[in-house]
């Protein structure tokens, strides 16, 4: 088993860790040797040194420097004495570098000088340096211990890693072993299967051999019988030839008729496939309409939400108005003082308070009604959501049914493959029959050779042959009758198939017309919806214009009120002047009283105008509310209609799917029937070929026998004394033998050709098998492609729907923001007007008091008259503007009608263009064949009536065309009926571009 990359890496890591462990073991051994040396030779307590370095023991456990110095001095003196006694030169004692033995210090540079501790001149400084070296050694020992601990820790980690890797390797090995076991099991199973197949094939071969042996015995028997029959069929040559000619003519006619029927069936299959494609297109269109219906439902939901928000804003505004009116009541109640002199003012205040209370009660009732309406809308929204959930569930169930239909189609494909296998088996059987016929032909060739000898032996069996020929003739007549009956049955089946096709074509035409009408209805509904939206937008624009005009009128009224305020201030000044000059103007009291009456009338008129303006505003508000409620009701109705249409579309979709399934089943049955017919036709053609071969051979044998009979008669007449004729007879016998050899050679050549034909048939069978496999692969590829295209179409549709929803939501939000802004402006304008009205009413009360208390001037009355004239002129201008706006509205409606007509005309042109595009995709050869068949049939016959739906689908006839064709068929059933003198008929000339 080869090592993988991971195993190699693990092996290299293991080798590295082993090398490091060896190095750590060597360093540990060196450290132990050094420690022993220090403890035994030098006298250091290494453990206490480590503890003092680590802080485990107190400072007193360190090395005794004085004792160390004394030991070194004693050792030096002893060595010196030994050298003196030996009178030998004192060897130079080399200082032992203990740090060199340390594995840590080997990698470091020397940071100290070597000290000769055993030298003669030992100084205190050298001892200090030695102590320093010892301290360094302590530190190095400490570092070495830490390194050893770290190495041990790394070693344990590496061991753990190796253990985990080993476990992983073991698990992988187990998995590999399991896979190998599975592969072995699979291999054994496959071997067992192959062995079983081999045994089955061997059994089949044995059974085939047995069958062949049986067939050989049967063939031998048949050969003997054929020899006997050939001896009897010499004198029946002419009658058989005539019968064979008749049979060949009948068979040729039957073959031509079968070919025509096959062409018609192929055409019908092409029509059915085309209709299937059209039905798929209609299904796609229905799915698109369903998607558009869902989009419309989303739009309706957005409109409903917008209407709800508008109602909520109106409720909030009404609540604000209610609060404001309550505040006004409180202020009025606070400001109302019990003055005895102003009784009229109190009565007016009481009236105003009552009117305000009535308005408050009406507003509260409006609030209650709005709240109830909002609750009802929320309930309707909840019901709509439940309906959408149900729709989603229905769609899921439809998807499941579609999956079930796909599974059924897969099963159908499997059944077709099984049928193809069955057909291949039938072809194999036919091949075996052909081989048997070849063996029969060989036996017949041998029979011919034996016939020559039989003719020479006796000619006395001709009478028996005639009798047997008569029996054979009767059998052949029976076979002919059976063939005619079979032909009649086939013609009846073909007529039934044609009638079924016609019925199916009629159903398809009716369904196509129904779906086209449905689509046209949906298009008209969408056009109506667009026109309604356009009209609503136009109405909104007009209302916006009216709001702007109202704002302009409010500004003009505010200016007028300012002018009135100025006039009232002037009147106050004039009244003050009049109060000062009351004594001088006593004679003018009557005139002042008249002017006072006139001013009171003008004030009353102003109050009436103000009340009229308030009523107009209230009416406009009520009208807007009613329009919104009507729009909400209309939207709800449209939503209900759309849901009903969606349900109908889903139901029709299910019906179409069921129809498609039934059509596919009928197609499979028709194909099976056609296959059976083709098989029977091929069998009959093969039998006819065999009969023709047999007849040709019998012709040859009969001609030879007749020639031989004539020759024998001449020989019998001139046997006596004609030796030359005997020589001629011998030569003729030799010639006959040569002819027999030539015939035998020809038969051998025919056998070889038959074998070559069998080989070709085997090759064609293999090619057919390969074609079947290729067709299966293509079907699978087409199914995968169709699935991918379906998924892509679904994704694209979902993406488009999401984009449309987002754009619609953005548009709805924008419109809601605009409507909120406009409603706020309108509310502000109304509040400002109401404040202005309240202020003017208070000022009018003050003016009335001033008028009652003093005198007014004639100049003020004239100014009031001028103001009234200005107002009337402004009212006339407003009426003229309203008339102009109404004219503009009529013109806009007329333009809208023209646009609708243009849209309808464009839709008709689009349908015509689509029909032209569909006509472009028609196969012209197929169309030519259909037209030729239509013109070949008798006018007004049922054959022509059956071909009319085919022409309508190919050429995409409109409803008017079909109506005209039906009218023309009713006029007459002959070609001469086109030349009638009926002037009321509207004929269309044929225009050639």
SS3 assignment for 330-342: HHHHHHCCCCCCC
Mean pLDDT of 8-14: 75
Assign 194 a pLDDT band (cuts: 50, 70, 90).
Answer: confident
Give every CB contact of residue 271 below 8 A, 6+ residues apart in sequence: 505, 950, 953
Cβ atoms of 154 and 135 within 8 Å: the answer is: no
Cβ atoms of 62 and 52 within 8 Å: the answer is: yes
d(CA 853, CA 866): 25
Q: Which two tokens stand for residue 789?
A: 């295209």
Mean pLDDT of 877-896: 82
Cβ atoms of 964 and 947 within 8 Å: the answer is: no
Average pLDDT taken over every residue of the chain? 69
Q: What is the distance, to the nearest Å, from the Cα of residue 481 to the centroid of all Cα atoms in its chain? A: 59
Task: Name the 3-class secondary structure at 76.
Answer: helix
Q: Which two tokens stand for residue 615?
A: 């009523």
d(CA 314, CA 625): 9
Q: Which two tokens stand for residue 860?
A: 């003020």
Candidate from 457-466, 834-843, 911-920 with smallest mean pLDDT: 457-466
* pTM of the complete model: 0.19
Mean pLDDT of 864-882: 79
**Higher confidence at residue 507 or residue 963?**
963
Tokens 């006339």 identify what position? 876
Q: How is the chain split into domains, by residue range?
A: 5-181, 243-332+352-450+478-525+550-564+613-854
Mean pLDDT of 935-961: 83
Give every CB contact of residue 237 below 8 A, 6+ residues apart in sequence: 698, 699, 702, 703
b/e burial code for range 94-131 (CB count within 10 A of at least 16 → b): ebeebbeebbbbeeeeeeeeebebbeeebeeebbebbe
Model confidence at 171: pLDDT above 50? yes
Q: Give residue-wise pLDDT tens across range 966-980.
A: 887 776 544 444 444
Cβ atoms of 260 and 715 within 8 Å: the answer is: no
- Residue 713: the pLDDT is 59
d(CA 668, CA 415): 10
Cβ atoms of 814 and 573 within 8 Å: the answer is: no
- Residue 733: the pLDDT is 64
Mean pLDDT of 19-24: 81
CA distances from 922 to 282, 928, 958 (A): 18, 11, 17
Question: For 113, left (φ over 0), alpha (ψ -120 to 50), or beta?
Answer: beta
DSSP 558-623: HHHHHHHHHHHHHHHHHHHHHHHTTTTTGGGHHHHHHHHHHHHHHHHHHHHHHHHHHHHHHHHHHH
Cβ atoms of 304 and 632 within 8 Å: the answer is: yes
Closest CA relative to residue 820, chosen from 238, 434, 313, 244: 313
Mean pLDDT of 365-392: 70
**Higher confidence at residue 903 or residue 804?**
903
Cβ atoms of 471 and 723 within 8 Å: the answer is: no
d(CA 240, CA 251): 16
Assign 766 a pLDDT band (cuts: 50, 70, 90).
Answer: confident
d(CA 854, CA 848): 10
Cβ atoms of 513 and 958 within 8 Å: the answer is: no
- Residue 287: the pLDDT is 65
- Residue 107: the pLDDT is 45
d(CA 853, CA 847): 10
- Residue 64: the pLDDT is 56
Q: What are phi and psi of 938, to 5 degrees?
A: -70, 135
Mean pLDDT of 595-608: 71
Q: What are phi and psi of 972, to 5 degrees?
A: -175, 165
Q: Which two tokens stand for residue 185?
A: 């099991």
**Higher confidence at residue 67 or residue 288?**
288
Q: Which two tokens stand for residue 482?
A: 């059976």
Model confidence at 109: pLDDT above 50? no
Q: Which of the residue ranges 30-34, 624-628, 928-932 has the most confident prediction, judged by mean pLDDT?
A: 928-932
- Residue 985: the pLDDT is 44
Model confidence at 58: pLDDT above 60? no
Q: Which two tokens stand for residue 84?
A: 């003196």
d(CA 264, CA 494): 10
Q: Give residue-wise pLDDT tens across range 637-680.
A: 877 877 787 787 778 777 777 776 777 777 777 777 767 777 76
- Residue 326: the pLDDT is 66
Cβ atoms of 265 and 695 within 8 Å: the answer is: no
As a dihedral over the C-alpha atoms of residue 13, residue 18, residue 20, residue 25, rounded to 10 degrees, the angle is 170
- Residue 894: the pLDDT is 85
Cβ atoms of 538 and 894 within 8 Å: the answer is: no
Model confidence at 1: pLDDT above 60? no
Three-state secondary structure readout of 205-238: HHHHHHHHHHHHHHHHHHHHHHHHHHHHCCCCHH
Give every CB contact of residue 565 below 8 A, 6+ residues apart in sequence: 843
Assign 116 a pLDDT band (cuts: 50, 70, 90).
Answer: very low
- Residue 963: the pLDDT is 84
d(CA 516, CA 757): 55
Q: Give residue-wise pLDDT tens across range 292-346.
A: 656 666 666 666 667 667 666 766 776 676 677 667 666 665 654 444 444 554 5
DSSP 673-698: HHHHHHHHHHHHHHHHHHHHHHHHHH
Q: SS3 helix, strand, coil % of the chain, rounded to 5?
A: 90, 0, 10
- Residue 332: the pLDDT is 60
Candidate from 95-109, 392-406, 562-576 with smallest mean pLDDT: 95-109
In the chain, the percentage of residues whose pLDDT exceeds 90 is 0
Q: Give residue-wise pLDDT tens across range 253-283.
A: 766 776 676 677 667 667 766 766 776 676 6
**Higher confidence at residue 124 or residue 23?**
23
């Amino acid at each position: 088993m080869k090592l993988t990359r991971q195993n190699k890496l693990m092996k290299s890591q293991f080798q590295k860790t082993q090398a490091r462990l060896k190095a750590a073991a060597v360093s540990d051994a060196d450290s132990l040797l050094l420690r022993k040396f220090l403890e035994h030779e030098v006298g250091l307590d290494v453990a206490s040194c480590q503890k003092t370095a680590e802080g485990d023991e107190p400072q007193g456990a360190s090395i005794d420097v004085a004792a160390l110095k004394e030991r070194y001095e004693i050792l030096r003196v002893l060595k010196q004495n030994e050298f003196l006694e030996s009178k030998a030169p004192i060897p130079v004692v080399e200082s032992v570098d203990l740090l060199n033995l340390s594995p840590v210090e080997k990698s470091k540079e020397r940071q100290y000088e070597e000290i000769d501790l055993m030298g003669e001149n030992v100084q205190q400084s050298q001892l200090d340096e030695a102590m320093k070296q010892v301290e360094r050694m302590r530190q190095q020992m400490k570092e070495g211990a830490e390194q050893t601990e770290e190495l041990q820790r790394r070693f344990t980690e590496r061991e753990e890693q190796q253990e985990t890797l080993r476990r992983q390797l073991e698990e992988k090995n187990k998995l590999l072993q399991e896979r190998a076991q599975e592969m072995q099991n699979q291999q054994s199973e496959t071997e067992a299967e192959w062995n079983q197949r081999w045994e089955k094939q061997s059994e089949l071969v044995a059974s085939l051999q047995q069958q062949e042996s049986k067939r050989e015995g049967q063939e031998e028997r048949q050969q003997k019988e054929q020899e006997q029959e050939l001896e009897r069929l010499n004198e029946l040559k002419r009658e058989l030839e005539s019968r064979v000619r008749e049979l060949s003519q009948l068979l040729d006619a039957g073959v031509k008729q079968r070919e025509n029927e096959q062409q018609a069936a192929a055409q019908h299959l092409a029509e059915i496939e085309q209709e299937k494609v059209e039905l798929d297109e209609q299904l796609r269109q229905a799915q698109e309409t369903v998607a558009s219906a869902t989009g419309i439902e989303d739009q309706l939901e957005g409109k409903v939400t917008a209407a709800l928000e508008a109602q909520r804003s109106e409720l909030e505004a009404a609540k604000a108005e209610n609060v404001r009116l309550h505040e006004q009541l409180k202020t009025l109640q606070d400001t109302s003082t019990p003055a005895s002199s102003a009784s009229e003012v109190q009565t007016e205040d009481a009236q105003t308070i009552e009117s305000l209370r009535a308005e408050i009660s009406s507003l509260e009732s409006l609030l209650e009604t709005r709240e109830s309406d909002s609750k009802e809308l929320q309930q309707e929204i909840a019901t709509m959501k439940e309906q959408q959930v149900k729709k989603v569930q229905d769609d899921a169930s439809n998807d499941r049914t579609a999956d079930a239909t796909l599974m059924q189609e897969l099963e159908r494909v499997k059944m077709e493959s099984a049928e193809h296998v069955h057909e291949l088996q039938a072809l194999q059987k036919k091949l075996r029959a052909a081989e048997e016929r070849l063996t029969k032909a060989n036996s017949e060739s041998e029979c011919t050779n034996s016939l020559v000898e039989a003719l020479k032996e006796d000619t006395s069996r001709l009478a028996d042959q005639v009798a047997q020929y008569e029996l054979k003739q009767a059998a052949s007549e029976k076979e002919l009758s059976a063939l005619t009956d079979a032909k009649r049955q086939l013609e009846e089946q073909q007529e039934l198939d044609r009638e079924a096709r016609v019925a199916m074509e009629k159903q398809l035409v009716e369904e196509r017309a129904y779906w086209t009408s449905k689509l046209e209805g949906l298009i008209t509904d969408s056009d109506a919806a667009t026109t309604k939206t356009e009209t609503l937008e136009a109405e909104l624009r007009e209302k916006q214009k009216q709001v702007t005009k109202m704002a302009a009128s409010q500004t003009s009224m505010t200016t007028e009120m300012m002018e009135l305020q100025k006039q009232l201030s002037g009147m106050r000044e004039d009244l003050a002047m009049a109060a000062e000059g009351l004594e001088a103007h006593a004679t003018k009291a009557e005139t002042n009283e008249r002017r006072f009456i006139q001013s009171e009338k003008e004030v009353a008129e102003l109050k009436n105008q103000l009340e009229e303006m308030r009523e107009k505003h209230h009416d406009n508000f009520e009208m807007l509310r009613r329009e919104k409620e009507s729009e909400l009701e209309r939207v709800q109705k449209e939503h209900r209609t759309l849901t009903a249409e969606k349900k109908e579309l889903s139901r029709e979709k299910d019906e179409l799917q069921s129809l498609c399934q039934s059509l596919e089943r009928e197609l499979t049955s028709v194909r099976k029937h056609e296959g059976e017919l083709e098989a029977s036709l091929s069998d009959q053609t093969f039998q006819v070929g065999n009969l023709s071969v047999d007849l040709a051979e019998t012709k040859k044998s009969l001609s030879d026998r007749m020639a031989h009979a004539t020759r024998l008669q001449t020989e019998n007449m001139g046997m006596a004394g004609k030796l030359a004729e005997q020589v001629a007879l011998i030569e003729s016998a030799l010639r006959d033998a040569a002819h027999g050899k030539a015939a035998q050679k020809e038969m051998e050549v025919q056998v070889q050709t038959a074998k070559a034909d069998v080989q070709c048939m085997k090759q064609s069978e293999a090619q057919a098998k390969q074609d079947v496999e290729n067709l299966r692969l293509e079907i699978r590829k087409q199914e995968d492609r169709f699935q991918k295209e379906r998924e892509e179409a679904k994704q694209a549709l979902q993406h488009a729907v999401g984009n449309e929803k987002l754009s619609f939501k953005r548009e709805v939000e924008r419109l809601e923001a605009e409507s909120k802004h406009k409603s706020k402006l309108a509310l502000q304008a109304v509040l400002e007007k109401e404040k202005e009205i309240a202020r003017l009413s208070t000022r009018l009360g003050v003016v009335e008091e001033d008028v009652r208390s003093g005198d007014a001037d004639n100049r003020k009355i004239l100014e009031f008259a001028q103001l009234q004239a200005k107002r009337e002129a402004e009212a006339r201008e407003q009426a003229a503007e309203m008339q102009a706006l109404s004219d503009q509205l009529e013109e806009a409606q007329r333009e809208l009608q023209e646009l609708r007509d243009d849209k309808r005309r464009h839709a008709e042109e689009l349908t015509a263009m689509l029909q032209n595009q569909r006509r472009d995709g028609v196969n012209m050869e197929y169309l030519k064949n259909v037209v030729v068949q239509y013109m070949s049939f008798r006018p007004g016959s049922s054959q022509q009536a059956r071909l009319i739906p085919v022409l309508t689908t190919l050429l995409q006839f409109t409803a008017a065309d079909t109506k005209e064709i039906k009218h023309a068929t009713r006029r007459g059933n002959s070609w001469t009926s086109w030349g009638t003198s009926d002037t009321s008929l509207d004929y269309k000339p044929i225009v050639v571009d």
